[in-house]
Chain A
């Protein structure tokens, strides 16, 4: 089985890799590029732990082949902080303790960053529906939702 050569951009950096046709983008990110922020919870697009953006569109990286990344711009949780400076969402998630085991957290951060870019002033219902595909078995979601709502309010004040 011959490998496929792919050129793409990940978190602003140009990246090249060789992958098997059956490898998903999630496999490539974790096993070939060493970006282990995105997690495999289910592998079938139900849990959202592997969320990334592709050309600014929120997707499950387990539901996309690595080969499809050719020429795309991919952003993962590793690109959210600016060096040592955390993104406001990350600060708020710590402040609110909006995580316990942490498996779902990278996906939820990527998903909520994408939400706030499209909807800077979301309602609570909007946040809950947006995150319907990000499963968390620890928190009961309440702290996550409050952290997102508070971040949105802070970011609106700052802009």
Chain B
């Protein structure tokens, strides 16, 4: 294995483009180094991106935020303004692993690891986050939901890497929330995860995005679930419609963490609960 720590994204792209064999980008390393230790994936080339200028920064951009690709979960949780505007995104990231893992783990690492159960990914999708992706042919922007293509797989081409996370402007009367089901209280992998982001006008929901994790080969953006609550005051009928749409979107597997039946049921429960939290947050004074 060769280890590189380039100081620019252009250099990182060039290294990845010219690399032979298996290439891994190293941000927090909380998945990459586990795979190395267990000899699941032994990269030929490891490209550490943490020496690139700006990758540790959370900065204002177009009324929203630009989060550097090496910003850790701990740094997100300690950022009061980000937390105030996007509590669901921050709580989803914060649920990943231990204090030690939070000191290293990153949003983009969680995304590019490609786990269908990644906690931050539904929250990123619900928030409408876009990524800058730089490769040999330049830089493009992509929606979060278009990155994972299956377990352990992404739509990134050889030589491409994510170079920035763009969080949209939160705007007024809006809130987000993320909930997951695990059989214990900490340190576990989601059996089902659900994120909701919405906006209100008075008591009426005017915009919504609902995303589910761990119920399909990739995290899902569930348009039908959003449509079930837009235009409503999140009354019982709207919540039931939301739950039904969430369950209908599920395409899960049976495994040691949960059955198809259980996951499909829990998706509805979590969607309703997350929507209520997001709704209350959207109505609260900031």
Binding site for B on A (CB under 8 A): 1, 4, 21-22, 24, 43-46, 48, 51, 54, 57-60, 62-65, 67-68, 70, 111, 114-115, 129-134
Contact = CB atoms under 8 A, between A and B. Distances in A.
Interface of B: 1-3, 5, 26, 28-30, 33-34, 36-38, 42, 46, 48, 50, 72, 74, 97-101, 103-104, 186-187
A158 B74 CA distance: 29
A100 B1 CA distance: 39
Given A44-B37, A60-B100, A65 B29 contact: yes
A43 B35 CA distance: 11
B97 A45 contact: yes
Contact of A64 (B33, B98, B187): B33
Contact of A130 (B5, B99, B187): B99
Given A48-B100, A133-B99, A67 B37 contact: no
Nearest to A21: B3
A64 B37 CA distance: 11
A64 B3 contact: no
A67 B38 CA distance: 19
A132 B186 contact: yes
Nearest to A1: B1
B28 to A, nearest CB: 8
B26 A65 contact: yes
A58 B99 contact: yes
A133 B95 CA distance: 12
Which residue of B2, B34, B36, B98 has the most chain A CB atoms within 10 A of its CB atom? B98
B50 to A, nearest CB: 7
A22 B36 contact: yes
Contacts of B97: 45, 133
A46 B29 contact: no
The 9 closest A-B pairs by CB, nearest first: A133-B98, A21-B3, A132-B186, A57-B103, A59-B103, A60-B100, A44-B34, A21-B1, A67-B3
A67 B48 contact: yes
Which residue of B36, B48, B72, B100 has the most chain A CB atoms within 10 A of its CB atom? B100
Contacts of A67: 3, 5, 48
A43 B36 CA distance: 10
Contact of B187 (A60, A63, A70, A133): A133
Contacts of B74: 57
A70 B104 CA distance: 16
A54 B72 CA distance: 13
13 contacts: A1-B1, A21-B46, A22-B1, A57-B103, A64-B29, A64-B33, A65-B3, A67-B48, A70-B5, A131-B99, A132-B99, A132-B186, A132-B187
Contacts of B99: 58, 111, 114-115, 129-133
B42 to A, nearest CB: 8
Contact of B104 (A22, A24, A48, A59): A59
Given A24-B33, A44-B38, A57-B74, A68 B50 contact: yes
B79 to A, nearest CB: 15
